[in-house]
Amino acid sequence: MADTARLTALIEPEAQALGFELVRVAMLPSGAGDGTMALQIMAEDPATGQLVIDQCAALSRRVSDVIDTAEEAGEVLIEGAYHLEVSSPGIDRPLTREKDFANWAGHEARIVMIKGYDGQRTNKGMLHGLSDGMVHITDVKAGDVRLPIDQIHTAKLVLTDALIAATRPLDTSGADELIEDTEKADD
């Protein structure tokens, strides 16, 4: 279907050239119901932990160009039709890098282990960080648990009031201003 390792190797330098950090590169069903896939790229500006629309557009253009160049040179990176999606990771962001587990300690997370993992497959609770390749979480059912990071299938933050309060908006200027139209319609 797609070589995500090769795609990541092509995309990461483009993100870094713009000053962004790559959070995730994944091939997922597009949601269009037509069987196509989406190449999902999540990145963040290290200064804000987010991307605004102009930053997403800039990264999207660079990624499109590098993929087109590789495919014109004969590489088959993605088989079949796909959509390119570039976004910020959002508030309830995926935890994909070691530093994510450390940076977001103190917030609730949901961690799903790979199939065949010996233990509880889904853990949800307070994230305490990462040490020696083990993610520490206090699961609501199992209590204090340490999970090997290399056995994690997916992990993401859980949207809570505490997480919302901890996530600062990029720009709040004008958020409290009301713009009124003083012109009246002709009677």
Domains and CATH numbers, the chain: 4-87 (3.30.300.70), 98-166 (2.30.30.100)
Instruction: Please give the biggest Cα pair distance in the chain.
Output: 75
R_g of the chain computed on alpha carbons: 20
Rounded CA gap, 166 and 183, in Å?
41
Q: Does residue 25 have a pLDDT over 60?
A: yes
pTM over 0.85: no
User: What pLDDT, on a 0 to 100 scale, did the predictor assign at position 179?
Assistant: 52
* Best CA proximity match to 157, nearest among 103, 94, 102, 88: 94
Cβ-Cβ contacts under 8 Å for 100 (sequence gap 6 or more) = 23, 93, 94, 155
pLDDT band per the 50, 70, 90 thresholds, residue 58:
very high
